[in-house]
Amino acid sequence: MANSKFEYVKHFEQPDNLLPNTWVVVRIDGRGFTKFATKYAFEKPNDKRALDLMNAAARAVLADCQDITIAYGISDEYSFVFHKSTALFERRASKLVSTVVSTFTAYYIYLWSTYFPDTPLTTPLPSFDGRAVCYPSVQNLRDYMSWRQVDCHINNLYNTTFWALIQLGGTRAADKNEILFSRFSINYNNEPEMYKKGSVVFRDYELVEPGTHNVAQEIEGIVEPVQQSKTQTEKDKKRRSKARIVVEHLDIVGDDFWDRRPWLLSNTP
């Protein structure tokens, strides 16, 4: 087909391919959620419905995209980790970010009524921004995840304290001790894990006992399988696509979570 005289405009499109062989984190964040939370009367400091909705939307994103290894969410944000080997959209940042943002937003709106059955969604409608960052090593990625979870802890401790104090302000002196005791520092440990630790979304296989070699590792190519035939590869792919996507509220700063799930950060996808 002959080129039209207009075709030169395609040269204005700039490449934005992300660095190869690096873990790509796409972090999305609710736009103006301070106002949004007020408008829809989110409970303070944590609204279980709102957080469950975020988790459900994140889960849908993982189901939609096999190349996402794990995701971590707190407040109005979610970080999606693409395996370092991903070749999705030729690793073009704008395509990866816009796809994650729009898929997440679509599900957030689609699932709204499930989590807020008595609160119709009108305007303002929820929207999210997004960015992509590359992390060259597993340590860098682990530190990124730790940074977000520590942030979750600091913010939650602060917010929980803050709202307890607000509540104390409007209370008779006689009630203060009771409130402090029942709702505050002593019982901070009893706060739901989702509020204290945030949410981790990942594909679940069997947990790995230290020193053993199991199917999960084989699927992920950590342990070289005996004569991997093409049909076996296909089977593994299928198995992977059928793996349960779970939402947990676990510590991701320490090693235990990662040691027990070696497929999450393994070299091979």
Site residues (vs ligand DGT, CB under 6 A) = 29-34, 37, 42-47, 50-51, 75-76
Calculate helix-pair angle for 93-115, 48-64, nearest 10 degrees: 130
Our CB check for ligand DGT shows the closer of 96 and 198 to be 198
Q: Which stretch binds Mg ion (CB under 5 A): 75-83, 111-119, 235-243, 249-257?
A: 75-83
Contact assessment for residue 129 and residue 29, using Cβ atoms and an 8 Å cutoff = yes
Is cis: bond before 120, omega within 30 of 0? no
Half-sphere exposure of 166 (CA within 13 A, CB side): 8
Q: What residues from 3 to 62 belong to the interface with Mg ion (CB under 5 A)? A: 29-30, 33
Closest CB 113 distance from ligand DGT, rounded Å:
18
Contacted by 95, from ligand DGT, Mg ion, none: CB < 5 to 8 Å by type:
none
Contacted by 37, from Mg ion, ligand DGT, none: CB < 5 to 8 Å by type:
ligand DGT
Report the alpha-carbon distance of residue 69 to residue 265 in Å, rounded: 8
Closest CB 43 distance from ligand DGT, rounded Å:
6
Our CB check for Mg ion shows the closer of 156 and 217 to be 156
Is 220 an interacting residue with respect to Mg ion (CB under 5 A)? Answer: no
Closest CB 51 distance from ligand DGT, rounded Å:
6
Region label for 130, one of left (φ > 0), alpha (ψ between -120 and 50) or beta (otherwise): beta
Our CB check for ligand DGT shows the closer of 30 and 130 to be 30
Contact assessment for residue 202 and residue 266, using Cβ atoms and an 8 Å cutoff = no
Report the alpha-carbon distance of residue 144 to residue 138 in Å, rounded: 10
Closest CB 108 distance from ligand DGT, rounded Å:
13
